[in-house]
């Protein structure tokens, strides 16, 4: 069940980036502002489900928070 939830969250992040024409680089910069240091290859591995663990889960959680805030601020309809 937990793996299914993480897969859905990863898919949601990819969809939100696509819907808002945002890049992984943009998200990496926002993550760094929240104190989470990552790089393109690590973020890509997390979003593909290749990288797992506590850091991957913190990246996923923070990414959703960032993107939810962005969409709310921009008035994006889901």
pLDDT by residue (tens digit) across 22-33?
999 999 999 999
Which pLDDT band holds residue 77 (cuts at 50, 70, 90)? confident
pLDDT by residue (tens digit) across 35-50?
999 999 999 999 999 9
The domain limits of the chain are 2-74
Q: Kindly report the CA angle at 25 between 21 and 31, in degrees rounded to 5?
A: 105
The pair of three-digit structure tokens given for residue 47, joined into one six-digit string: 């979003």
DSSP state for residue 38 in the 8-state scheme: -
């Amino acid at each position: 069940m937990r793996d299914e939830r993480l897969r859905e969250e990863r898919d949601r992040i990819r969809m939100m980036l696509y819907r808002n024409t945002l890049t992984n680089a943009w998200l990496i910069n926002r993550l760094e502002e929240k104190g989470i240091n990552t790089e393109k290859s690590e973020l890509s591995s997390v979003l593909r489900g290749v990288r797992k663990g506590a850091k991957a889960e913190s990246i996923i959680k923070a990414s959703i928070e960032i993107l939810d805030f962005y969409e709310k601020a921009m008035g994006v309809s889901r």
